[in-house]
Amino acid sequence: MSADRTPPQDGRAPRVREGGRMEKLARLPVFYALAGKRVLVAGGGEPAVWKAELLSAAGARVEVIAPEICEEMWHLAGAAPDGHIAIHKRPWAPDDLPGAALAVADAADEAEAGRFAAAAHAAGVPVNVVDKPAYCDFAFGAIVNRSPLVVGISTDGAAPVFGQAVRAKIEALLPQGFKAWAQAAQAWRGAVTALGLSFQARRRFWEDFAARAMAEPGRVPNDTDRDVLLAAAELGQGAPDVGSVVLVGAGPGDPELLTLKAVRALQSADVVLYDDLVSEAVLDFARREARKMLVGKTGYGPSCKQDDINALMVQLAREGRRVVRLKGGEPMIFGRAGEEIAACHAAGVRVEVVPGISAPQGAASRLVASLTHRDHARRLQFVTAHARDGKLPRDLDFHALSDKAATTVVYMPRRTLPDLVGELAAAGIDPATPAVAVFSVTRAEEKIVWAPVSGLAAAVSAAAEAGAAGPCIIIYGHALSAAEGAQALADGGPRAARL
C-alpha cells in the first residue's frame, strides 16, 4: 500500500493508488516485423535450424552462411515456412552483415562469438549468439503460435526448460480456434476504422468481438459476425457514452481464487474503486491503464463514508467510465452491496455483480473442513458482530447462534468477541464447542487459531498480541470437530494455535 494513506482522524477521502508501475524487466518483449527483410544466420548445424525456421516463419529473407550445412538445414531451405531461405556454403565475413535487419550466429567458441558480435555492432545490426547470452542484443523465447495472435515467453536464458513448461501451460489454455478469430480481427480492422467511430465505440466493438471469441473459440467467425458487430457499433455511435458499475468479489486474498469473469471485468475497467481488504496481488489483474482508487472500507478504523463512495461511483459512471467496485470476499455477503446497488438504480446507472469466493469458503478450504457435515450440521448461518454503532448487534438471535446442530460464521468479530461469547454462554451454548479464528485467510500471512468457544476471546486476543493481523472471521460448530482433531495432531496437542 502507498505511504500517503495515513487518514485524518475523522475519516478519509478516496485516494488514487500511487505506485503500481511496471517492475524491472530482464528483457523488453517486442514483436519485430521481419516480412521481406534480410536476416543473416551464421551457422549450418542443428542449433541454427530452429532459428532459421522461426525467422522464415516471420517472413524474413534468411541467408544461411556456414562452411558445413546439416541435412535438416537443406531440407528446411527446400520447404521454408514463409520467407525464402538461401544457403551459402562458406565461412561468414564481416561484409555479410551490413544491411541485415538481424544477425544470428551459432559460434563454435567464445572467440568466434566475440568476433561475430563485434562485426554486427560495427554494421549496426542487432545480434544473437546461440547459447551465449553475454553476446546477445536480443533473445529468442518460447512461443505459443496462434498467429496473428502470438505469445512469447522469456526467462532471460536462466531456465529454458521452465520457459517451455510455461509455454505448454499456455498452449493448453489457448484454444486453437483463437487463430481464426485473430485472423478475422486482422481482416476486419480496416472496416472498423472506416466507420470513423469514437474511441469508446471502437472499444465496445472489440470488446464485443472478444466476448464472442471467448464464448465460441471453436467456431470460425464469418461475415454475419462482422456485420452484426459493425451494425451494433454504428447504432451506438450517435449515443452518448454510458458508463456502468460492476461490483466484483475479489475473494479472500489469494489472487488465484479470482473468477475468470472477475478478471475480465478488471481488465476492461476504466476505474477501480477498492477497499483495504483487497490484496495488492488482486489489483495486479486490473488493466494497467485503469485508475485505481482506495475507498477505504475497513473495520474499526477511519473509512470513507458510504455516501461518498456511492456518489463517486455514480459520478464516474455518468462520465462514461466503466467502474469496477472491487470488494474483498463476496460483495453480497456483508459487503454493503445493497446500498451501492440502490444508489446506482436511483441514478439510472447500469449495475451488475460478479460474485467472489467468500471468506468462509476460503477458510473452509484452508481448514480442509466441511461446514455442513451431515453428521453435525443442518444449518449454516452467517452473522455480523458489528452493528452501525460498532457494538454487538442487540437483535441477534443468540439461541439460534447457540444451536449445536448449526455451523456459524461471524464476520467482523474482533472488537465485540468477548460480548458475543458471553451472550452465547448465557444462551446455553456448549462451552466445548469447537471454534476457530482465521486471520488474513488464504494469504501468505494467514494465521489460524483453534479454541473452544469458551476460550475463544482470550485465544484471539493472544494471537493478535503475537502478531496475527488482517481481517478475521470466526467459525464455530461441531462440524469442525474432524478438522480440529487433524490440526491437533499436526500441532502436537489439543486446540493448539498455529502462529
Q: Where in the sequence numbering do the catalytic residues fall?
A: 275, 297
DSSP element (H, E) containing 87 = strand 85-88
Contacts of 221 by beta carbon, 8 Å cutoff, 6+ apart: 180, 181, 184, 212, 213
Backbone angles phi, psi at 435, to 5 degrees: -145, 155
Q: Which residues pair with 326 in a beta bridge?
A: 248, 274
**DSSP β-bridge partners for residue 185:** none
Residue 98 neighbours by CB under 8 Å, 6+ apart: 123, 124, 125
Task: State the CB neighbour count (10 A cutoff) for residue 394.
Answer: 9
Q: How far is CA 252 from CA 180, 255, 295, 375, 438, in A?
A: 38, 9, 18, 28, 11
Give 162-179 as a 3 state SS string.
HHHHHHHHHHHHCCCCHH
Contact 107, 66 (CB under 8 A): no
**For residue 311, what is its C-alpha cell?**
456518489
Nine cell digits for residue 20? 503500481
In angstroms, the CA 194 to CA 234 distance is 11
Using DSSP, state whether 60 is helix, strand or coil: coil
**Residue 204 · residue 245 · CB < 8 Å:** no
Collect contacts of 234-240 with beta carbons under 8 A, ≥24 apart. Answer: 234/195, 234/197, 236/201, 236/204, 237/195, 237/197, 237/198, 237/201, 240/320
**Residue pair 441/424 in contact by the 8 Å Cβ criterion:** no
Q: Phi-psi region for residue 102, left (φ > 0), alpha (ψ -120 to 50) or beta?
A: beta
- The residue among 156, 157, 133 whose CA lies nearest residue 28 is 156
Contact 113/72 with Cβ under 8 angstroms? no
State which H helix or E strand residue 324 sits in. Answer: strand 322-327
Residue 6 CA to residue 439 CA, distance in Å, equals: 23
Please name the residue that has the C-alpha cell 443468540: 398
Cα–Cα dist 59/46, whole Å = 21
